[in-house]
Amino acid sequence: MLDNLQEQFIEKLSEKYGHWERSTSRFGSTNFGEISADLCISASQFSKLISGTATEGMYTRSLRNVDRLIREESLALALDQALIDHQNTEIGQTKFRARLRLHPVFWYLGIFFFLAVLSIILFRWGAVKALFSFPKPEVENRQHPLAIFFDQAFDAPFDSPYLKVSEIQDYCPCSAYEGRWSLAQEYKLPLPGTGKPGVYYQAKSGDVRLKCAKSDTLTAPKGRVLNGYEYLINEIWVDTEQTPLSPRFFNKAEKTFTAEFEEMDFSEEPQFKKVATIHSFFVDKFIINDDYIVRIGEPCGRYAEDINEGLVAEYEIDLKYILEDVLGDLVKTNCAPMPNLYCDPNTLQAGASVISFDCLYTIQSENLGLGGGYPYTKGFLLEQQAYSDNLLCVCDRVD
């Protein structure tokens, strides 16, 4: 089934952009980054769609978006042709009026015809805008707050936070981790805030910059500590049917979310409505040992926007309480160290390597009636390394 969806996806992209040039990662003259922006998805999601590792829901949504782009292009061409036809008509009318010495009746006929054509164009253009005015995810429109400090061109007049080439080997292995990372996968969690079931948190995207800590040698030896600057975009959703969490969405005996909940896309379920978008910033510390990697996160503030005040009032959702207390608890969750899969830092690869932490989210006072916690996984996908040449430090782990 997924193989068939992958083939359909590649065929649709070829129809829209041109033949798939595998050697240059392009469809026609359009690169993968431009296509993922058109489809309102992240580069990592696009890679999954191309490689065949995406979910059925991801393929369905992306195929629908490609179809929309194709229809939009077709309608835009029709609109351009209508404008050309209209201009040719006006030129012909001008010559005709000149031949007839601009008799007033022809002025009236010309004005009537122009208004009629203009009405048709405006109507069609309004229909096009209405059809394709679906909002892009915030991740496509928002830049990391520190991007201007990290991401300028190599020859720009700025001082990069990353290590200088002369320092790379001295700060191995953390020098291999320096660069841009993203949230590896979305995750969902239930939230208190109404005294009733049905409020959920969904982590949508993360834009992260990691750099070696040059002065922190008390925590771990030189080259073993990373500082992270994490910009997150998340959402708050409400289940309008206020379905009890267990047993439909959570198995209390096994303390795991059900397959239905894991696979659910809130945006495609009529009973779920988006309440707000949450923007958060964290400062992270990663400690790299040969056997494991530890992450410690500290929040630096969050705020809500795009708030649906009607839903807030109807379901008595206390957003301030959620922002200050509930999500404040979330960052204090118990996350286990991850086994270090990259003891040899030269095995890190952009677009493929993930550092992932299994966490248990508990809410101090009520915990939604569960004795224990809610499991989730927070992973970071390496998007671009600041330095990707050979590193000389040796992995001392004995497997």
DSSP string computed for 371-386: SS-EEEEEEEEEEEES
Supply the pLDDT for residue 132: 42
- Angle, nearest 10°, between helix axes 43-51 and 2-17? 120
Supply the pLDDT for residue 153: 81
pTM of the model: 0.63
CB 342 within 8 A of CB 348: yes
CB 229 within 8 A of CB 212: no
DSSP string computed for 140-205: HH---TTHHHH-S-TTSSS--SSPPGGGTGGGTTHHHH-EEEEESS-EEEEE-SSSSS-EEEEEEE
Please name which of 235, 232, 320 lies closest in space to residue 282, comparing C-alpha atoms: 232
Q: What is the pLDDT along the chain (399 residues), one digit of tens a residue?
A: 666 888 888 888 888 888 887 777 788 888 887 887 788 777 777 777 887 877 777 778 888 888 888 887 777 777 767 667 766 666 655 554 555 454 565 556 667 677 777 766 665 555 444 344 444 333 345 788 888 888 888 778 888 899 999 999 999 999 999 999 999 999 998 887 667 888 999 999 999 999 999 887 677 788 899 999 999 999 999 999 999 888 899 888 888 899 999 999 999 999 999 999 999 998 999 999 999 999 988 888 888 889 999 999 998 888 887 887 677 665 556 788 999 999 999 999 999 999 999 988 776 555 455 666 788 899 999 999 999 889 988 887 766
Q: How far apart are CA 70 and CA 28, in angstroms?
A: 15
Supply the pLDDT for residue 140: 43
Supply the pLDDT for residue 137: 39
Q: Is the peptide bond before 173 cis (omega within 30 degrees of 0)?
A: yes
Supply the pLDDT for residue 227: 94
Please name which of 329, 276, 271, 269 lies closest in space to residue 299, comparing C-alpha atoms: 329
Residue type, 198: G
Taking the domains of the chain in order of start, what are their residue ranges?
1-134, 142-385
